[in-house]
Structure 1
């Protein structure tokens, strides 16, 4: 397994990252624990952490800054924009109008305490706003120096292709795991183009095929979650899993999966689950 990947050809990260979505942000012991988890992730060598404006309306970004700023030189914190509390009753909805994107990027810069977001992802394509306006706005912010690289989340192969006609796309973040292969064609498209693929929910809950994952885990003396992550790392060099947790023990278990070797026969059995 290749341990590192260069996103966009220039941002080198360890391939097993961390998703910060599950970290509690409210004041008190839970927040203290969340800060400890984030710091432990960096101690363990994680260099890719994923967050989003949606996660607490920016509270998750503020938490990571409190825990980790000033950031190590090799740490990449990527965030996502394009979901806002602009529904009729103030509920969250897809909203990637230019003014929303500009405001959320500015908020992220302030909350993360950085001058540039090195990798900024569009959380979802907003069906009510022309894609050219969404990506055009992000490209303007890129030219202004507020964004480094651009990425997408939850897109199809066709949507990725259309987006690439409008902007250089460095990453895609879709739901994907050994037991959830809905976006298999997107993984293949990213692999062909050298685009980083960040699977969220990389350790799927119990589903058809879970028994086979557990069987392989028993053979190698690992947990099913570790086997699921090891399979993702073997799937393609462009795959960068971002498992999330609010517990240090679980974090340490996940990170250890990077050193787990699976045989060709075992990988074949897991491949067949798709």
Structure 2
């Protein structure tokens, strides 16, 4: 049975189709994209349309996306879950480096708390594991922040299934973000670990960075036409049907595109249609 919601971390109910804020940053995730009032309007429309999960990161801008969320939505609705990320320092357009030392992670989390104007971050995700720092030290810092009440749940971004199992042996993990979409399923083994442990799986690039909204296979177009939907909507619907733990958070700076994306949650794909799409 299709499930419209997911219990994130076992205690935070969210609608499975959320909103991601990466597209509110400028090219290369540097600076702001477009008019500030347009960005604020998109965030407010997302919540008005029933979105209860917003995914962001401190390096989108940097700082830009978190500041926009607070300006648009604070004080936050009681059912809104905000997920952000730390552990990466952006130094220019498409230029960044990993920074996972305990003092760096703590400083990043504290800064996100200030920008988001909150005492607790619902889901704080390690944007990348730092290969120069023991995993136990990185997760230990996040666990300490959780015990202090500054983080409710810990998430991880871009890792292998083996590394995820290792992380789970060290502390509680609520969510994982890996690249995953209809035509890129390299992280299928990570998704299986998430299913086995009841973790949320937030697929990034759910529309293959725009590729699935442009030229696509005849199969994708044919299934979309049957539903009177766009190819992008079908790609999001496939993610929602593929596994009950997938929580796609497509991003956009356009009100029209936002409405189109969110309408994907209303599509219901048959088993035969899923089989067709699975062959892509």
* TM-score, length-scaled by structure 1: 0.94
Match of 2:70 in 1: 65
Q: CA deviation at 1:57?
A: 2.0
Match of 2:246 in 1: 239
1:179/1:209 contact within 8 Å kept: no
Q: CA deviation at 1:127?
A: 0.7
The CA deviation string for residues 227-254 of structure 1, in whole angstroms up to 9 with x for no partner, is: 0011111011111001000100000001
Matched, 1:108 2:112: yes
Match of 1:203 in 2: 207
The CA deviation string for residues 97-154 of structure 1, in whole angstroms up to 9 with x for no partner, is: 1111010000000000000111100001111111111001111111111111001001
Q: Residue 53 of structure 1: SS of its match in structure 2?
A: coil
CA distance in 1, matches of 2:85, 2:245: 20
Match of 1:125 in 2: 129
CA distance in 1, matches of 2:97, 2:125: 16
Match of 2:145 in 1: 141
Matched, 1:173 2:177: yes
* TM-score, length-scaled by structure 2: 0.92
Q: Residue 151 of structure 1: SS of its match in structure 2?
A: strand
Q: Residue 77 of structure 1: SS of its match in structure 2?
A: strand
User: Aligned to 1:159, which of 163, 171, 191?
Assistant: 163
CA distance in 2, matches of 1:140, 1:120: 12
Residues 229-268 of structure 1: matches in 2 within 5 Å?
Answer: 229-268=236-275
CA distance in 2, matches of 1:134, 1:29: 35
Q: CA deviation at 1:209?
A: 6.2
Q: CA deviation at 1:264?
A: 1.2
2:86/2:108 contact within 8 Å kept: yes
CA distance in 2, matches of 1:28, 1:235: 32
Match of 1:77 in 2: 82
Q: Residue 80 of structure 1: SS of its match in structure 2?
A: strand
Q: Residue 198 of structure 1: SS of its match in structure 2?
A: strand
Q: CA deviation at 1:27?
A: 7.4
2:25/2:64 contact within 8 Å kept: no
CA RMSD of aligned residues (A): 1.8
**Which stretches in structure 1 are left out of the alignment for 5+ residues?**
none
CA distance in 2, matches of 1:86, 1:6: 36
Q: Residue 35 of structure 2: SS of its match in structure 1?
A: helix
1:243/1:254 contact within 8 Å kept: yes
- The structure-2 alpha-carbon separation of the partners of 1:27 and 1:21, relative to structure 1 and needing over 3 Å to count, comes to closer
CA distance in 1, matches of 2:84, 2:34: 25
Q: CA deviation at 1:216?
A: 1.0
